Structure 1
Amino acid sequence: MAFKEKSFSACTSVLVGKKASIDGSIMIARNEDAKTAWPKHFKVYPHVEHNNKQLFISPDNGFSMELPQTSGRYTATPEWTNEYGIFAEDGFNEYGVAMSATESAYANERVLGVDPLISTGIGEEAMITVTLPYIHSAREGVKYLGQIVEEKGASESNGILFADQSEAWYMEIATGHHWVAQRIPDDSYAVVANQLAIQEIDFTDKNNFLHSTGIVDFVSINKLNPATDSFNFRKIFGTQDLSDEIYSTPRVWYGQKYLNPEIIQGPMSEELPFIRKANRLISREDVEFILGSHFQGTEYDPIGQGLTDLKHKFRPISLAKTQESHILQIRPSLPTEIAGIQWLAMGVTAQSLFVPFYATINDTPESYKKGEATYSADSAYWKYKLLGILVDSNYLEFGPKLKAMQKEVRIELNRRVHEIDKLLQEDINLTPENKVEFITKKSNENAFYAIKKVEELTAQLITEATAFSPLDFKTDANL
């Protein structure tokens, strides 16, 4: 057993219920943040029928478990190397279930002293791999992973996002064996940033809350609840310290400020609610903005006009350590085979493009399966990172050009999604196999188009950057 020290390499998540969104979509989304140069790949893992049960052994910490013989097809964004673990992170399975894992969180010393984290328990790197291929609904996903935690233990405190065509769930693993999960109300949203976020638990409401076996007795017997008349998971299991107020709560504050500007709250408040109802219907573009945000319009924007101390006081949502960002969108009004879209942005969210890949694809572009620790021009991850590095070098000059390109591409990709949806619903002669091929072809074309625009802007910025050399000299024409 081991207690993992608090680290500040982490993520930001957004969840949106179907009645809270502008088009009836359910959305679960997250920035995956770890290192400034650590490529992600995008893959499709095929449906497999094994003759025997398979044994999974984590290359990270030795966590192991038997897996079912039937493994459903699923998409994922694994690391370029599995030396430190797989970290498959996010995707859809063939049953229409979306999963994103994980939002790193931290439990307090009081609860960890009673139920410590397990060094060989399940951690972030294994969660998608051992869960997503085997679940048929979001609710089943929570129960399936919860059982693993109770039987095998957890090596980390984490938040996990699940969704299907009916509902979205947010699950939090706090200690070695205890967890809770809350269904996101259809008319609400949540923004989460590296804290245990779930608050009041209604143990009588089985439709909207799930939890580990014996959690009430665990808290009662060990006298862990600071309240006498409620069960607030965040207050019992979570942390409330200065690092939270600098690193975590400001991101939740900004997401809520964007969707509820009429509500006055402080960025360092420890009382920000987990669930909110926005003052308008939420679009996918709103979620994109939040994931790519860095306190725009406030004195805390690191590339804004505020005082130096304030510009770097809080950790922004989008930052250089983002490896990829995803929005897993499910449109309940559409047929299952075209309902899910995995919007994927490689590299730094604020400087990237969300490309739509339909959930039923059977392959991804070659450039999305390439890229190692050192830059290579054939990798989608590195193509997006290169553009961001160029923009960083002359942000005032190049930033507006990036924004103009992002707007142009967003419009075109939205148009393409509408066109693909229409074609798939109108062509009744497409066989299931032909549909998958068509969806894969069109999704990959979306990626090729976005990369082409990235390469065009990259070439333009490289050319223009030649004029910014400190070795340049303006010659007097009369000399």
Structure 2
Amino acid sequence: MFKTKSLKKLGITLAITAASLAISSTANACTTVLVGKDASNDGSTMIARNEDMGTAWAKHFVIRQANTNPTNYVSKGNKVALTLPSKQLKYSATPEWDTSEGLYEEAGINSANVAMSGTESATTKEKVLKLDPLVENGIAEDSIVTVVLPYITSPKEGVARLGKIVEEKGAAEVNGVIFSNKEEIWYMEIVSGHHWVAVRVPDNQYAVIANTLTIGDIDTTDQGNVQVSTGLKNFVETNKLAKNSEKFSVRDIFADTKEDAQYNLPRMWDGQRMLTPSKKKKITDTDFNLFEKPDEPISFAKVAYILTLHFNGTKYDTMTGSKADKYRPISVPNTMESHILQFRSDVPEELSGIHWLALGVTDTSNYVPFYSGITKTPAYYQAGTDLPDVNSAYWTYRVTNILTKTNYQEFKTKETLPLRQEVRDYLAKQVAKTDTEAKQIIKDTPDNLPTYLNEQTEKFAKYSLEKYKELNKQLLVKMTELTPTKHNDNL
């Protein structure tokens, strides 16, 4: 049987050469959206990503309690071994249903209200990897959240911790990783076996990132906005990779861009055409900026919409377009989960962080809000395997996509989209109501807050799940009504 996770493990092994890394990353890969606090419509920071890998492989959503990780960590994926601190923060995570080949926790928010998402796969030039090869048992996607997020109290601390691991243990993959809190976002790229670069996302700008190293010109002396690996400047200078070892373009030196035109840059174009249409860029352009200013402040709903895009309304639309197979879209059938990690500035710190989670394909799923202060997740978010079932959240949302696609234009417009909007509107109102009630609890009985947030998020999740189960029944009935018949109607 086809197993998604086996491909992930295979990707680590193949990543030792640049050519094979390109194969493994392009077979299944993700799309990231970042929004600085002054670029959003409410002062929120948002980091978001579609995790794309398999069409029938359940993701679970869990809360990892404080001080439960082993101090002697060994990855089940590629056997990277690390000694972890004994003190560990609580955090949310979306691991695989079967962790025998690695956890792949992907994203979460810890109890210090720091978020992390990893990873955005990328590729490095073969000539650079010959100078600093990837390490087979170095840090990789299956471990990256587990060994970093529970031990950091700021985004910069996250960059520093992961950077130290890359330098000491080596990296098995070329990846992009994101850290945030309510004040700032840092985007980090692991560019070779032992080197990395991280930049602070400008508060008034956003980014859409798609499986290519995208950090451009940097000034390594600007420590407030740029962090780099120890020895990177010497590496660049010794190997004559740039004229100036303090100021250079990371993308020009490291990025393998062979597949950008068809596979990566069109996704950046699709996001930017929605957020900065005034730029009037073309899908064939190759000079996209990593960070852009939006024409209008970006809402949570807009970020969610970007993650559902498949070149909507163009001839390249992968669902309805005449050239549907031309470019790789943002939303694909093998999305396993999608998250938007939001920190709000207009509520108390205890309510600031929300882990919005959409299981299955974003085009037909819905983002359910989970406050970072919860101590448990619903049982049906901890269920699901590689075989369909009728109870797990993952398979409920996955089935919606399968059924909608049988008659996409009619079912999406008349059934799935209206239901999604109904659920989204309801959840937005409930979050506002919960904020109000929770503020009073913080004031009067703060010890009761976790229990209250657990109860409320359980209600959010159950409401959405039940609505989608009913939708699935309706779609199934409509499918049967459309079944062609060949008998004589007069008989």
TM-score normalized with structure 1 length: 0.96
Query: Which of 259, 262, 287 is 2:275 aligned to?
Result: 259
**1:456, 1:196 → 2: CA distance?**
42
The yes-or-no answer on 1:393 pairing with 2:410 is no
Cross-structure match for 2:446:
432
Q: Which residue of 2 aligns with 1:79?
A: 96
CA distance in 1, matches of 2:246, 2:164: 28
What letter corresponds to residue 340 of structure 1 in structure 2?
Answer: G
Please show how residues 34-113 of structure 1 align to structure 2 within 5 Å: 34-48=53-67, 54-113=71-130
Q: Which residue of 1 aligns with 2:384?
A: 371
- Greater mean deviation of Cα atoms: 431-440 or 10-19: 431-440
The structure-2 alpha-carbon separation of the partners of 1:467 and 1:93, relative to structure 1 and needing over 3 Å to count, comes to same
Pick one of 246, 262, 267 that aligns with 1:246. Answer: 262
1:326 to 314, 339, 348: 339
Could you say which residue in structure 2 is the equivalent of 1:382?
395
**Matched position secondary structure for 1:30:** strand
Aligned to 1:22: 41
Unaligned runs of 5+ in 1: none
Match of 1:272 among 285, 288, 298: 288
> 1:83 Cα deviation (Å)?
2.1
Aligned length, in residue pairs: 471
C-alpha spacing 1:147/1:229, structure 2 compared with 1 (3 Å): closer
Cα gap change, 1:215/1:294 in structure 2, threshold over 3 Å: closer, same or farther?
same
Q: Which residue of 1 aligns with 2:178?
A: 161
CA distance in 1, matches of 2:367, 2:488: 41
Contact 1:131 1:141 in 2 (8 A): yes
Q: How far does the alpha carbon of each residue in 1:417-464 deviate from its partner, in whole angstroms, 9 at most, with x for none?
A: 111111111345543331001011101110000001101111111112
Match of 2:459 among 445, 463, 475: 445
Q: Is the 8 A contact 1:345 1:355 kept in 2?
A: yes
Contact 1:294 1:301 in 2 (8 A): yes
TM superposition shift of 1:49: 6.8
- In the other structure, the counterpart of 2:363 is 350
- Confirm or deny: 8 A CA contact 1:245 1:270 kept in the other structure: yes
Residues 272-307 of structure 1 show CA distances to partners (whole Å, capped at 9, x for unaligned) of 100100011000011001001101121110123x32
Q: Are the counterparts in 1 of residues 354 and 369 from structure 2 also a CA contact under 8 Å?
A: yes
Deviations 1:63-88 (A, max 9, x none): 01000001110000000111221000
Opposite residue 371 of structure 1, the aligned amino acid is: G
Which residue is equivalent to 1:32?
Answer: 51
Q: Could you say if the C-alpha distance between residues 92 and 474 of structure 1 is closer, same or farther in structure 2, counting changes exceeding 3 Å?
A: farther
What do the CA deviations read for 1:375-427 (whole angstroms, capped 9, x no partner)?
11121100111111110111122111100001111111110111111111134
Q: Which amino acid aligns with 2:190?
A: I
1:129/1:95 CA distance change after superposition, 3 Å: same
Q: In structure 2, how many angstroms separate the alpha carbons of the residues matched to 1:135 and 1:347? A: 29
Contact 1:41 1:78 in 2 (8 A): yes
The amino acid of 2:460's aligned partner reads N
Q: CA 1:226 to 1:392, structure 2 compared with 1: closer, same or farther past 3 Å?
A: farther
SS of the residue aligned with 1:5?
helix
Q: Which residue of 1 aligns with 2:158?
A: 141
Distance 1:19 1:48, change over 3 A: same
**Equivalent position amino acid for 1:303 in 2:** M
Cα distance in 2 for residues equivalent to 1:430 and 1:80: 39
Instruction: Give the counterpart of 2:208 among 191, 201, 210.
Output: 191
Equivalent position SS for 2:279: coil
Give matches, 1:275-294, under 5 Å: 275-294=291-310
Counterpart selection for 1:210 from 213, 227, 235:
227
Q: Distance in 1 between matches of 2:325 and 2:456?
A: 42
5+ unaligned residues in a row in structure 2: which ranges? 1-12
CA contact (8 A) 2:221 2:246 kept: no
User: 2:449, 2:405 → 1: CA distance?
Assistant: 41
What CA distance in whole angstroms lies between the structure 1 residues aligned with 2:263 and 2:225? 29
**Which residue identity lines up with residue 261 of structure 2 in the other structure?**
E
Q: How far has the Cα of 1:254 moved from its partner?
A: 0.8
Q: Is the 8 A contact 2:200 2:225 kept in 1?
A: yes
- Cα shift at 1:475: 1.3
Stretch deviating more after TM superposition (91-100 or 417-426) = 417-426
Cα deviation 1:46-67 (Å, max 9, x = unaligned) = 11278xx711101111101000
2:140 counterpart (123, 130, 137): 123
The alignment-based identity, stated in percent, is 44
Residue type of the alignment partner of 1:116 = P
Cα offsets for 1:162-213 (capped at 9, x unmatched): 1012101100001000000010011000110000011111112111111101
3-state secondary structure, aligned to 1:296 = coil
Q: Give the root-mean-square deviation of aligned CA atoms.
A: 1.6
Partner Cα separation in structure 1 for residue 85 and residue 245 of structure 2: 43
Whether contact under 8 Å (1:195, 1:239) holds in the other structure is yes
Q: Which moved more, 1:178-187 or 1:229-238?
A: 229-238
> What residue number does 2:419 align with?
405
1:230 deviates by 4.7
Match of 2:7 in 1: none
Conserved? CA contact 2:33–2:47, under 8 Å = yes
Match of 1:206, SS state, is coil
Distance in 2, Cα, partners of 1:131 & 1:105: 20
Q: CA deviation at 1:271?
A: 1.5
Q: Is the 8 A contact 2:441 2:449 kept in 1?
A: no
